[in-house]
Amino acid sequence: MKFALFFMILALFLKSNLGQLHDQFIPNSDEYLISQFFEKMGMINASNSHHVYNLSSSACLWQFVFCDAKQLNVIGLVAPSLGLIGPIPDNTIAKLKKIQFLDLSSNEISNFSADFWSLTSLKSLNLSNNKFSANLPTNIGNFGSLEKLDLSMNNFSGSFPDVFSSLASLQVLNLNRNRFDSVIPLGLVHCHSLTSLDLSMNSFHGYLPKGFDTSFPKLKSLNLGGNLIKGRGSEFKKMVSLNYLNVSKNLFEGSVVEIFQGSLEVVDLSSNKFEGHISRVNYSSSLDWSRFIHLDLSDNEISGMFYRNLSRARNLKHLNLANNRFSTQSFIHIDGLHSLEYLNLSKTNMIGRIAQKISTLTRLKTLDLSKNHLTGKIPHLSFRTLQNLDLSNNNLTGDIPLSLLQKLPWMERFNFSYNNLTLCDAELSLETFKSAFIGTTKSCPFAANPTLFKRKVHKHRGLKLALGLAITLIFMLLALLLFAFTCRRKARLWDAKQESYREERTISGPFSFKTDSTTWVADVKVASLVPVVIFEKPLLNFTFSDLLSATSNFDRDTLLADGRFGPVYRGFLAGEVHVAIKVLVHGSTMTDQEAASELEYLGRIKHPNLVLLMGYCLAGEQRIAIYDYMENGNLHNLLYDLPLGVQVNEDWSTDTWEENDENGIQNVGSEALLITWQFRHKIALGTARALAFLHHGCSPPIIHRDVKASSVYLDYNLEPRLSDFGLSKIFGNGVTDDTVRGSPGYAPPDDVVTPKSDVYAFGVVLLELITGKKPVGDEYPDDDNSKAQDLVSWVRGLVRVNRGSQAIDPKIRATGNEAQLSEGLKIGYLCTADLPLKRPSMQQVVGLLKDIEPDELVKKHIRSEALLITWRFRHKIALGTARALAFLHHGCSPPIIHRDVKASSVYLDYNLEPRLSDFGLSKIFGNGVTDDTVRGSPGYAPPDDVVTPKSDVYAFGVVLLELITGKKPVGDEYLYDNSKAQDLVSWVRGLVRVNRGSQAIDPKIRATGNEAQLSEGLKIGYLCTADLPLKRPSMQQVVGLLKDIEPDELVKNHIS
């Protein structure tokens, strides 16, 4: 009782003294204002108030309070996570006239005080993670001295006030995780001192304000993620000081290439509409890949091949390229990426095996390779750090490695479903098997290890061990027999296309699949019992289950088009056979026998300009046609320069024109492919030959009925091929069935379907090729200010009055003979006559087109403007020529000295590969022969008189200098400090000697390559053109030097 009384008296004493001290504060002093602030915010009676301030001491000694050097004025208050609740009270901290930084983050403050905006001396304000709501007051513009402003993680909404133009000193602005839903105000571009800007996770919309890209010369970090902002990648190309860029989950589009430059370390462009060829990022000479830490390009429409510069990103920890439109290619180059912790390559169109070098990425925590076409066995992946693994939806085979199975119990997530894998585990739970191993076969040739997934400590371990040994000895022979039987069975199963996998995949028939326009059903009970017929490989035991596997169960991700006859899917059959699978959903009334007979007939129709029908499958009432896949897109996409990856109507290509091996091509847009009359004529003639074959070479004749630009494809070698022939019906002479008359703009005015209907449609395609205009919905200008309704009426009107040349596409006018182009329009005029009888036959059309065939495609001189616009292509010519000379010098016995190497002796073959001509015409030389009857052409001949292999080296050096400078060996302009060199060699050698070689680089290719590589190329030319032969390298050495500066992914099969 006495103790209780004592504590009551003590409490009253303390309370009395605290009240006295409080009363002793000078009104409006800093101590008084701050104590009032904490009291009104609920802190005076809080249990932790004594940690904030000591009422008996100066405010400058209080925790979270910072004063000036003389300890007279409060200049800072840092009070995060103190449980402050409610609005900031009036007449408290807003009266601190000298305060410069204020941090009240992570509390529950709900509003500003009326006098809060008088804190004009503030330089730093942090109110993040509170409960502010409603609009941000325009009074924020009062803080003219503010350098840092953090209002993130609140509930500010409405418009973003356009008063930031007055915050000229602002360096850091963070509005992350609010509910702003306006455009970004123009006033923000006046904050030229910004180094960090975070507007992420709001609802900002519209376009970036004008001048945004040039307004922040010091900006290091930009985060616009999680909004609805529109724009293009080019809007960031001038922001060269950026280290951190996040524009994820917005509506940006355009080329991704222009973004990569400067000193970027973190880039997140995910979930936008960016496009463009990813390999062209290699052009950026200013990009330092070694600085990259985080790169996320997922969920866009990026195409092309993976860039090999990634191997330089040795510090990269996070890489996500998932869900794009990349070209078919082998596994990404991962050499040197030893810092990777996160790798997501899901749905990146990879084929072939998983690279064994992936086992060197020992820091990986997450690996996602799902939804590709990977084959072969799973490599060694037992990283100690691996927590998430997804290999689902591929074509992987073989056993899941035991070392990986042993790792699974400690992993957070894993998925092996929809492959052709086998595993042996006695205690894998049924739930796990059904969720993460769908389509996987259990197969245990040896006694299964029951401790893979459940490791327990057993009390009778010795007894169980003895029992296990006894059982093993007793059944040893049985196990060996079982092993032999299983191996035989497995070989039979896998050689026969994994029957067990089919059974796993087909037990749930019938199968229903949905696209945007239709739902189709394959009414089969057991997919593995429904055969797929492959015409040229009848022994292949393919079934409908293989089509399921090839298309990931006809997943929408494999859908190429939802066309006139039905959906078209892309897939890979066993052996990496790339196919287009067309489901003929609409309008089929034939019996199975009739359908099989018709498809068998179509499969026998072969022509170089027809898309090959490889096989078919009759799945219930569905007729499925299997075609050879066309790698290089269709004519409609090429002509009208659609964005990469856009599909139209019957397009089953992904419009990816960049292939994965050395014979592929790289698409650089429709401009690059279709800028010449020679190439467009080639397409027209090939298509005409295909139709002539169908009409005159088949019995009965086949009428296509739907000829159009999107039914003309380009194969691997860029040859035109006509698709969809015979799908409507096989016609005999005189048949007038008009169930299909053609697509809008291509259908003739007459109602009768005959071969002349195809002639009309072909005429429209020919007019498209020459004019570059669409059949309908385009602009068709005329001098009399009238406007034609469609392409045919426009061109026919011009041709009638001899003004057809006005319709020629300006892009190709300079590449061909105008008279030939005008004749081509007249052929189109004939084909599109209103009356079928006035139209020529397709055989006659072929003859007419051959009469206007352009001269044989030029064997392209190496200074051609159209071909030599990139360093990559010029380097390809240099390296190919060097290899030819190295072979002549070092691969022939006796060695052959060319004696007349020059630009005009280097030709380009049909595939645009460089070929050296005229070798050995002078004489075949042995070692030591000094015959100098031929020493080379002017400008290419070395100063020495002795003809040796080093004479060729000199001449090659001149060719190399031509390729890099774009200048002739003699007779050009060679300016050097207001003086003029006499020839190319003396000019370049003079510049290189004083480290000014870069001045000689051809301006046309400077932006297409790495300037350091180009300068190294000039130095190689310098070595080759040394005055003394002994100082020149051999051609073998030159090949090595050129390979050291080889650009990534040389342009293949460019058509210019």
Extents of the domains making up the chain: 461-491, 496-629, 660-857, 871-1044
* CA separation for the pair 358, 371 (Å, rounded): 18
Name the nearest CA neighbour of 958 among 889, 904, 1030, 887: 904
Query: Is there a contact between 213 and 189 (Cβ–Cβ < 8 Å)?
Result: no
Could you list the mean pLDDT of each consecutive 10-residue stretch along the chain, which spans 1056 residues? 43 41 62 87 58 64 84 89 92 91 94 92 95 92 93 93 89 95 92 95 94 92 95 88 94 86 89 82 63 92 75 87 87 83 92 87 92 90 85 90 83 90 73 84 53 42 53 60 50 39 50 81 85 79 86 82 80 79 75 84 88 88 87 79 39 34 35 72 95 89 90 86 76 39 84 90 96 90 75 94 91 86 94 94 92 59 51 92 92 88 84 81 45 67 88 96 93 78 91 90 85 92 93 93 75 34
What DSSP string runs through 911-943?
A: T--EEE--TTSS----TT----S----TTTS-S
Give me the amino acid identity at 360: T
* CA separation for the pair 213, 224 (Å, rounded): 13
Residue labelled with tokens 């994820």: 248
Residue labelled with tokens 């000689």: 1000
How many residues make up the chain in this entry?
A: 1056
Give me the amino acid identity at 864: S
* CA separation for the pair 61, 30 (Å, rounded): 12
Angle at 101 between CA 95 and CA 102, to 5 degrees: 70
Q: What torsion do the CA atoms of 235, 239, 244, 250 make, to the nearest 10 degrees?
A: -10
H or E stretch covering 577: strand 577-584
- Say whether the peptide bond before residue 567 is cis (omega within 30 degrees of 0): no
* CA separation for the pair 335, 308 (Å, rounded): 9
Query: Is there a contact between 666 and 1051 (Cβ–Cβ < 8 Å)?
Result: yes
**Backbone φ and ψ of 1016, nearest 5°:** -65, -35
pLDDT at 11: 41
Helix, coil or strand: residue 132: coil
Q: Is the dihedral of CA 1004, 1008, 1009, 1011 positive or negative?
A: positive
* CA separation for the pair 1039, 1018 (Å, rounded): 14
Residue labelled with tokens 């379907």: 753
Fold of the 871-1044 domain: Transferase(Phosphotransferase); domain 1 (1.10.510)
- Say whether the peptide bond before residue 894 is cis (omega within 30 degrees of 0): yes
State the CB neighbour count (10 A cutoff) for residue 905: 19
User: Active site residue: 103, 425, 706, 758, which one?
Assistant: 706
Name the nearest CA neighbour of 304 among 277, 286, 322: 277
Query: Is there a contact between 687 and 720 (Cβ–Cβ < 8 Å)?
Result: yes
Angle at 31 between CA 28 and CA 36, to 5 degrees: 70
- CA separation, residue 648 to residues 560, 562, 868 (Å): 9, 9, 32
Describe the crossing of helices 755-771 and 842-851 by its angle, rounded to 10 degrees.
30
* CA separation for the pair 409, 407 (Å, rounded): 6
- The superfamily CATH assigns to domain 496-629 is Phosphorylase Kinase; domain 1 (3.30.200.20)
Q: Which residues pair with residue 342 across a beta bridge?
A: 318, 366
* CA separation for the pair 849, 833 (Å, rounded): 17
Helix, coil or strand: residue 462: helix
H or E stretch covering 1022: helix 1011-1024
pLDDT at 370: 94
Residue labelled with tokens 């899901």: 346
For the record, the structure tokens of 870 come out as 């990139």
User: Is 706 in the active site?
Assistant: yes
* CA separation for the pair 331, 373 (Å, rounded): 10
* CA separation for the pair 759, 756 (Å, rounded): 5
* CA separation for the pair 619, 5 (Å, rounded): 94
Whether the domain at 496-629 and the domain at 871-1044 fall into the same CATH topology: no
Name the nearest CA neighbour of 677 among 815, 820, 825, 876: 815
Name the nearest CA neighbour of 59 among 70, 73, 45: 73
* CA separation for the pair 408, 413 (Å, rounded): 8
Domain 660-857 class in CATH: mainly alpha
pLDDT at 740: 53
pLDDT at 479: 57
For the record, the structure tokens of 644 come out as 């990469």
